[in-house]
Amino acid sequence: MDLGLSGRWALVCAASKGLGRGCAEALVKEGAHVVITARGAEALEATAEALRSLNPAVQVRAVAGDIATPEGRAAALAACPQVDVLVNNAGGPPPGDFRDWDRTTWLAAIDANMLTPIELIKATVDGMAARGFGRVLNITSGAVKAPIDVLGLSNGARSGLTGFVAGLARQPQLAGRNVTLNNLLPGAFDTERLHKTLVAGASKNGLATEEFAQRRKQSIPAQRFGTAAEFGAICAMLCSAQAGYLTGQNILLDGGAYAGVF
């Protein structure tokens, strides 16, 4: 199926690695031009080169910077001639005990995982509406549906974004102009971030990392971790021309880990 993304411009935040990179790869394969961001310039440039070789017909621009800062966002937006597709992403907040978190810690999490996507949405959706096409996809977390105790910063900040998006997506001046906003909720995906949490979890439980990872996989009905390529493919589908009637949704991609009906 032609997803109707050829020639569109996509801004994919936090995309030198992991899920963001998976989204950029899928969009590039569908013929979209992309602007990708990350803080580390070296890995970002390497990813940009890999994307160019996936589809030499598209433009790939790499903007090094922290997307959670006003300067980082301004540079990313300036590099994108028009934003038809916005994939919001940033590193997740650290785990811990809420008794140890002060106001500064909370503000950093809220800045990166709630206010940054809202700022980028604010900068782009009215232009999308004027042109009659727009897709906003926020990478959040399965923890929005099933909060994880030690990820309180993530649970809190991402829930704030989720509530905000649920309201905004239903504005007729957006939904009625073919601008959709949805959240994609990853469960366990095989990325650097997951690997770090596995190493930490294994050491806490006195197990080898591989043994701990096996147990974790066995707790997921799919019996494995997801891949960034699978995540990217769903992202491209949700950003497709065909997905114009799908908005304001929270789509869980977790191999069946969440056991609820809704």
Q: Which spans of this chain sit near ligand NAP (rule: CB under 6 A)? A: 14-20, 37-40, 43, 66-68, 89-92, 112, 139, 141-142, 186, 188-189, 191-194
Residue 19 or 243: which CB sits closer to ligand NAP? 19
Closer to ligand NAP at the Cβ: 241 or 257?
Answer: 257
Residue whose entry in the numeric block shows the structure tokens 């701990």: 212
Least distance from ligand NAP to the Cβ atom of residue 9, Å:
19
User: Cβ neighbours of residue 107 under 8 Å, at least 6 residues apart?
Assistant: none
Tell me the closest approach of the beta carbon of residue 112 to ligand NAP, in angstroms.
6
Q: Is 69 helix (H, G, I), strand (E, B) or coil?
A: coil
In the bound state with ligand NAP, the residue whose beta carbon lies nearer, of 15 and 239, is 15
Please say whether the beta carbons of 43 and 17 come within 8 A. yes
Residue appearing with tokens 């649970």: 155
Which one, 5 or 14, has the nearer CB to ligand NAP?
A: 14
Check: CB of residue 15 under 8 Å from CB of residue 47: yes
Minimum distance, C-beta of residue 29 to ligand NAP, in the bound complex (Å): 18
CA–CA distance, 64 with 172 (Å, rounded to integer): 35
Residue 180 — φ and ψ, nearest 5°? -110, 150
- Say if residues 84 and 27 touch (Cβ distance below 8 Å): no
* 15 vs 27 by CB, closer to ligand NAP: 15
| Of 14 and 179, CB closest to ligand NAP | 14
Shortest distance, position 242 Cβ to ligand NAP, whole Å: 25
Query: CB of 236: closest distance to ligand NAP in angstroms?
Result: 16
- Rounded Cα distance between 27 and 164, Å, is 26
Query: If residue 47 lies in a helix (H) or strand (E), which one and from where to where?
Result: helix 41-54
Q: Shortest approach of ligand NAP to residue 71 CB, angstroms?
A: 11
3-state secondary structure of 220: coil
